[in-house]
Amino acid sequence: MPDEDRRRYLFAAIDRATRWVYVKTLDDKSAASASGFLERLIAKAPFALSKITLRLSYSFKHYPIPIKPLNSLYWTP
C-alpha cells in the first residue's frame, strides 16, 4: 500500500477438513516469528493437530520439531 513504509508477513493455517482458519500478520519471517506462530496456532486450534504441511518451510527450519515442506512428508506430533 502506498501509505505503508514497512513490510508485514502473513502467516496462515487452514484446516483442510473444516476450513477453520488461523491468520497472523508479523513484522518479519524469522525463525523466531515462525516458531511463535506455530506455538500460537497449536494453542488456539479448537481441535488436536495431527499433521502440518508448509510452504516456505525454510522459515521454520529452527523449530524444535521436524517440519517438512508441503511436497514432502507430513509432520505428525
Give the chain as a DSSP string. -TT--S--EEEEEE-TTT--EEEEEES---HHHHHHHHHHHHHH-SS----B-BSSGGGGTTSSS---BTTSPPB--
Task: Give per-residue pLDDT as tens, 5-45.
Answer: 888 888 998 888 899 999 999 999 887 888 888 889 989 99
List the grid coordinates of 55.
510452504
Looking at residues 69-77, what average pLDDT do you find?
46
Read off the pTM: 0.66
pLDDT at residue number 40: 92
Cα 63 from Cα 39, distance rounded (Å): 10
Top pLDDT among 68 and 41 is at 41
